[in-house]
Copies of this chain bind each other. A is one copy, B any other.
Amino acid sequence: MSEYTQTERTRVKRGAKRANYDKETVNAILDEALLCHVSTQLNGKPLLQPTIHWRDGDQLYVHGSSKNGLFKVLLEGAEACIAVTLLDGIVFARSAFHHSVNYRSVLIYGHARLVDDPDEKSRSLDQLIEKFHEGRSKEARPANETELKATSVIAFTLDEVSAKIRTGGPVDDAEDMNLPVWAGVQPVITTLGEIEFESEG
């Protein structure tokens, strides 16, 4: 545990006070977020794809069709940058300039590894389903060979990683504190609703 080593590009330049390299903090963000964005480049053009992710120890997993074009580029050796971002609040300051948002974000640089070991692939796909609903991997009909073949799982080792976090209220300039302008924070709340069950077949 403890901290990720900072590299030139994971060292947060703008708003350095918001930087965080603590592994436990990073893991909590990765585990809470359902969504990530995976980017890479091909011939000098950016590629970007939203997808769902999950984590086991220092491995971050994403999955997709075995024909996924972005995965192909990554598995040919292109570097990935993955962002996981949680928006927590809208920060209203007394001045327009100091308006802000509260957030927790993680950036991960790394190279993809194809998960081709059958045990790791099965286990990791179970972990994906468990992340979304505990116990579900034991309820649903397991993937058959054709389905497993149609699915690619790729993994990234959490190594070159940084988090950036803003919390709390507005930070106004001293001379603005007495302006007759309200200030505060509006929470942005993401919740899972009640499951809408389908009638049984």
Chain A positions near chain B (C-beta within 8 angstroms): 13-14, 34-35, 37, 39-41, 44-50, 52, 64-65, 67-69, 78-83, 85, 87, 90, 92-97, 99, 101, 103, 105, 107, 125-126, 129, 132-133, 136-137, 139-144, 147, 150-151, 169-170, 172, 176-198, 200-201
Distance (Å) between the CB of A91 and the closest chain B CB?
A: 9
Q: How far is the CA of A169 from the CA of B200 in the complex (A)?
A: 13
Q: How far is the CA of A79 from the CA of B92 in the complex (A)?
A: 33
Q: A41-B44, A81-B39, A125-B96 are in contact. Are A198 and B186 (CB under 8 A)?
A: no
16 contacts across the A-B interface (CB closer than 8 A)? A37-B50, A41-B44, A44-B78, A45-B79, A46-B80, A52-B101, A90-B133, A92-B140, A94-B140, A96-B140, A96-B142, A99-B140, A133-B186, A141-B179, A184-B195, A187-B194
Residues of B within 8 Å of A186, CB to CB, are: 133, 192-196
Residues of B within 8 Å of A95, CB to CB, are: 140-143, 147
Q: How far is the CA of A64 from the CA of B97 in the complex (A)?
A: 11
Known: A41-B45, A182-B197. 8 other contacts (CB 8 A): A46-B46, A46-B81, A50-B103, A92-B195, A184-B197, A186-B192, A186-B196, A188-B192
Residues of B within 8 Å of A44, CB to CB, are: 41, 44, 78-79
Residues of B within 8 Å of A40, CB to CB, are: 46
Distance (Å) between the CB of A112 and the closest chain B CB?
A: 12
Residues of B within 8 Å of A105, CB to CB, are: 50
Q: Are A97 and B195 in contact (CB under 8 A)?
A: no
Report the nearest B residue to A191, measured CB to CB.
B189
Q: How far is the CA of A11 from the CA of B85 in the complex (A)?
A: 27
Q: Are B179 and A188 in contact (CB under 8 A)?
A: no
Distance (Å) between the CB of A9 and the closest chain B CB?
A: 8
